Structure 1
């Protein structure tokens, strides 16, 4: 997803557009990997000195609610990334740098065959490990 698409979603849902929100979205788009709230605050602090975690978390919650960002938990900490606007897929997530790689395969048909009689409402598959770059470092 690009910043303009995200801003459009924010406006369509009746929320206010602000430069802070645009700048925060730009961080997600530029990084294009899982990052924590502290990383976002550091990036925002350059233009908005003293920006509070309250402001960061309030916007993270809004972006998550509007499906603009995705979240996962790594090492006991919530991390976020810009949502993919592509077709259905899953992710490999590097536990060290937060980089992601698309996994085109979805195992849901096989999983459903192993769980007859259950109703699956939704699913999210994340595979964790160490990316090639971090293994070299």
Structure 2
């Protein structure tokens, strides 16, 4: 998602445009990885020294509700990333070291298989994430050990 699209989405839903919100969205757009609320606060504090975790969490929750951000849980902590620009069905590979993500379009879950095993269950969607270490982090780890 582009920053301008995210800001338009806020405006269309009746939410105020603020510099803080734009800076938060820009951070996610620039990073294109899963980021914790703590990382967002650390990034924002130089420009907004009085910024609180409550403000960060309120905005993260709002952005998620408006489909500006996606959420996952890594190591027991919620993390967020900008919503994918691709609207086709896909899933993510997530690096546990740096938080970067890669899309993959092969889906291991068939709605037909679920319907056969659980005929009364109505599938409305699903999310599939694979956790591991990306090539860059693996190379860096190997070079540090050498």
Q: Which bracket does the TM-score occupy, shorter chain normalised?
A: over 0.9
Matches within 5 A, 1:15-26: 15-26=15-26
Aligned to 2:54: 54
**Alpha carbon RMSD of aligned pairs, Å?**
1.2
- Matched residue count: 136
Post-superposition Cα deviations, 1:32-91, rounded to whole Å, max 9, x if no partner, equal: 000101110111111111211011001001000001000100000111000012122110
Give every structure 1 segment of 4 or more consecutive aligned residues whose post-TM-superposition deviation is greater than 4 Å.
Answer: none
Instruction: Say which of 133, 136, 140 aligns to 1:133.
Output: 136
Give the equivalent residue in structure 2 for 1:94. 95
Residue equivalent to 1:14: 14
Q: In the alignment, is residue 5 of structure 1 matched against residue 8 of structure 2?
A: no
Deviation (angstroms), 1:135: 1.1
CA offsets, 1:85-121, max 9 Å, x none?
2122110001111000001112333x53254113212
Which structure has the larger Rg over C-alpha atoms?
Answer: 2
2:126 pairs, out of 119, 123, 128, with 123
Residues of 2 paired with 1:123 and 1:75: CA distance? 21
Query: Which segments of 5 or more consecutive residues in structure 2 lack a partner in the other structure?
Result: 141-146
Correspondences of 1:34-113 after superposition (within 5 Å): 34-86=34-86, 87-109=88-110, 112-113=112-113
Structure 1 unpaired stretches of 5+: none
